[in-house]
Amino acid sequence: MARCISKFMCLSVIVCFLVTNLTVSYAQATMVGTEAVINSLQAENNRARLTALLDRQEVAEAFAKQGIDLEQARMRVASLTDAEIAKINQTLDQLPAGGDGIGALVGALVLIFLVLLITDIVGLTHVFPFVNHPARR
């Protein structure tokens, strides 16, 4: 009788080991390329930069002026893909600092006006009719 029980126990243990062995997936170690690591770190940095931008007081006030709920904006940013976040950050990098670009345009126009005015006063050009040109020799 003991022999019959030990045989049954041995067979059941063997079956349990086989079933467990078939259902367990094995971990596979593979090489991870440097580019993949850099891309994942860049994606994390881009997302952190955008969420830090949402935490700023000026941004919260601008959203409130536009009638946008800040929490809803945060949820939408969280649902963006890495490529969309990278594109937004790239667009933010290309924007001029401190404004919408009007200041740079006005500055360029003032510079052009001053250059033309000085060259008109010296007598190299005749652009402005209100400038008294020196007599030609």
Residue spans per domain, the chain: 35-95, 98-137
| pLDDT, tens only, 14-45 | 888 887 776 666 777 888 889 988 988 998 99
Task: For the full predicted model, state whether its pTM sits above 0.85.
Answer: no
Q: Would you say 50 and 85 are in contact if contact means Cβ atoms under 8 Å apart?
A: yes
Q: Would you say 59 and 53 are in contact if contact means Cβ atoms under 8 Å apart?
A: yes
Report the chain's mean pLDDT, rounded to a whole number. 79
User: Could you tell me which residues come within 8 angstroms of residue 63 by beta carbon, excluding any fewer than 6 positions away?
Assistant: 69, 70, 73
Q: Would you say 50 and 89 are in contact if contact means Cβ atoms under 8 Å apart?
A: yes
